[in-house]
Structure 1
Amino acid sequence: MKLLQLTDIHLTKPGQTIADREPTDNFNKALTHALTHHPDADALIITGDLSDWGDLDDYLRLKDILADVPIPVHLCIGNHDERDVFLSVFPELADEKGFVQSSFDLPLGTGLILDTWGPETHAGHFCQKRLNSLDASLSALEGPVWLFMHHNPVPIRIAPMDKIMLLDAEPFAEVIARHKDKIAHIFHGHCHLPLSGSLHGVPFSAPRGTNHAAWPGFDNNTVLSGADLPESYAVIFAEPDSVMVHMVEYGYQGKIRGEATPDYADWDRLTMVR
């Protein structure tokens, strides 16, 4: 199974920039790069912050762009989104309680889209209704289950970012712990950093994002830090007994060198590129 994860696309009115980068242009570049190099992907999942300000025009533009994508697409919302505005354009993505949550079949198990949005906050929320829904879904599914969400479910140990992580992390973790044997992986965004770790033994990961990048400012206690690092997306390869996640820095503009063959017998001090 092969999946594509794009995150934090932060669409704005065309021509408007974030960190001197044009989000809609970068999103189109990411889609083109991902679909050109991975046309055999089984699904594309975008894990939130679809719009930078939750504007209607951004969601209309997103719907128009995604209409030409030839593989299944699944959407999460993030803290920069507005749920009601999003659902006015994508009403079919609401569950029976009005959350942007859904399940979908994959060649290997089931994907679950989780809604961690809360009003007038950048922090993540996962109320009792959402907890009950996740618990019920995980109880009913055989596994493997792949979870997709926006907010990071554990602290990343960068103080200003941890103020806006998933605030309901403890009850969320309790649900994960009950079903850890059938959850294969958790994919999130939000932090604009390449991250990996585990929660009760369940691995999680996040790529940087398709537009602006963060910087791991561990010594900064008040302000989120940014950097001009390449834009990226993730490619996930999954087998019954293994998962590999690549962060593809499609925004990199430098040289790509052919350094050497992987065959040890052909390594040579005189010909190796170093």
Structure 2
Amino acid sequence: MKLLQLTDIHLTAPGETIGGREPNDNFRKALGHALTHHPDADALVITGDLSDWGDRADYLRLKETISGLSVPVHLCIGNHDERDVFVSVFPDLVDDNGFVQSVLDLPLGQAIFLDTWGANSHAGYYCETRRSWLDERLNETAGPVFLFMHHNPVPTGIAPMDKIMLQDAEEFGNVIEKHRAKIRHIFHGHCHLPLSGSFHGVPFSAPRGTNHAGWPDFANETNLSASDLNECYSVILASETSVMVHLVEYGYQGEVRREGSPDYADWNRLTMVR
């Protein structure tokens, strides 16, 4: 099974830039690169911060962009989004409690898309109602399950970033631990950093994002830190026994060299490119 994860696309009014980069252009480039190189993907998931300011025009433009793609696209919302505005454009993505949550059958198990949005905050929240919904969905399936969400449930060690992580992470973690035998991986965004680790025994990962990049500035106590690193997305390869996550830096403009054969017998000082 192959899945694609894009995150933090931060759509703006066309022509507006963030960090000197135009989010709409970069989103189109990301889609073009991903679907050209991975047309066999079973699904493409965008894990939040779909719009930079939660403007309805951004969601309308997003809906138009993804409507005709060859790979089905699934959406989570993030702190830069506005849930009510998003729902006005994507009403079919709301659960019975008004949250942007859903379940998707995959060739291997299921994907569950979570809503970690909270009003008037950049931090994430996963309240008792949402936790009960997730617990019920996990009770209903034999797995494996792949969870997609916006906010990071694990502290990064970067003080300003950790102020806006998932605030009720341990309560969320209690649900995760209860079902961890079923949950193969958690995919999130939000941090604009390539991250990996584990949470209550479940592996997680995050790509950098399709527009502006963060930087792990551990000495900064106040501000979030940005950089000019390459834009990227993730390619997820899953089997019955494994999950592999590739970080594809589609914004890289340099040379890609083919350095030689992987066969040991063909390795020698004359033919290997160094």
Q: Output the TM-score relative to the length of structure 2.
A: 0.99
Q: 1:124 corresponds to which letter in structure 2?
A: G
Residue 131 (structure 2) aligns with: 131
Counterpart code for 2:148:
F
Letter in structure 2 aligned against 1:31: L
Q: Which amino acid aligns with 1:20?
A: G
SS of corresponding position for 2:136: helix
Q: Is structure 2 residue 138 aligned with structure 1 residue 122? A: no
Q: Partners of 1:31 and 1:71 in 2: how far apart?
A: 10
Equivalent residue, structure 1, for 2:54: 54
Amino acid at match of 1:16: E
Q: CA deviation at 1:51?
A: 0.2
Give 1:258 shift: 1.5
Q: Which range moves more in the overlay, 256-265 or 213-222? A: 256-265
**Aligned counterpart, 2:142:** 142
Partner of 1:248: 248
Letter in 2 for 1:85: V
In structure 2, C-alpha distance between the alignment counterparts of 1:104 and 1:136, rounded to whole Å? 15
CA displacement at 1:88 relative to structure 2: 0.3
User: Residue in 1 aligned with 2:170?
Assistant: 170
CA distance in 1, matches of 2:271, 2:109: 46
Could you tell me how far 1:141 is from its partner in structure 2?
1.0
Shift of residue 263 of structure 1?
A: 1.3
SS at match of 2:234: strand
Deviation (angstroms), 1:213: 0.3
Alignment of 1:202-241 (within 5 A): 202-241=202-241
CA distance in 1, matches of 2:96, 2:200: 29
* Residue of structure 2 equivalent to 1:189: 189
User: Shift in Å at residue 266 of structure 1?
Assistant: 1.4
Secondary structure, aligned partner of 1:146:
strand
Q: Which residue of 2 aligns with 1:198?
A: 198
The C-alpha deviation readout for 1:36-75, integer Å capped at 9, x for no partner, is 0000000010000000000010000000000121122110
CA apart distance, 1:94 = 0.6
**Shift of residue 271 of structure 1?**
3.0
Counterpart residue type for residue 107 of structure 2: P
Structure 2 residue aligned with 1:152: 152
Match of 2:42 in 1: 42
1:266 partner letter: D
Find the counterpart in structure 2 of residue 88 from structure 1. 88
Mean alpha-carbon deviation: is it higher for 259-268 or for 223-232? 259-268
Local SS of the residue matching 1:103: strand
Deviation at 1:157, TM superposition (A): 0.7
Shift of 1:270: 2.9
Q: Secondary structure at the match of 2:5?
A: strand
What residue in structure 1 maps to residue 75 of structure 2?
75
Partner deviation per Cα, 1:142-193 (whole Å, 9 max, x = no partner): 1001100000011011111000000010100000010000001100000001
SS of equivalent residue, structure 1 residue 130: helix
Counterpart residue type for residue 191 of structure 2? C
- The residue aligned with 2:17 is 17
Give the counterpart letter for 1:199 in structure 2.
F
Counting only pairs closer than 5 Å after superposition, residues 94-109 of structure 1 correspond to structure 2 as 94-109=94-109
Q: Return the TM-score normalized by structure 1.
A: 0.99
Q: Which runs of 5+ in 2 are unaligned?
A: none
User: What does the per-residue CA deviation read over 1:189-234, in whole Å, with 9 as the maximum and x for residues that have no partner?
Assistant: 0000111111121100000000000001011111111110000000
Alpha-carbon distance in 2 for matches of 1:238, 1:174 = 25
- The residue identity in structure 1 corresponding to 2:181 is D
Aligned partner of residue 118 in structure 2, secondary structure: coil
Q: How far apart, in 2, do the equivalents of 1:218 and 1:167 lie?
A: 20
Letter of the 2:205 counterpart:
S
- The residue type equivalent to 1:230 in the other structure is N
State the SS of the aligned residue for 2:61.
helix
Q: State the identity %.
A: 71
Counterpart CA distance in 2 for 1:178 and 1:132 is 12
Structure-1 separation of matches of 2:50 and 2:246: 21
Detail structure 1 runs of 4+ shifted over 6 Å in the superposition.
none
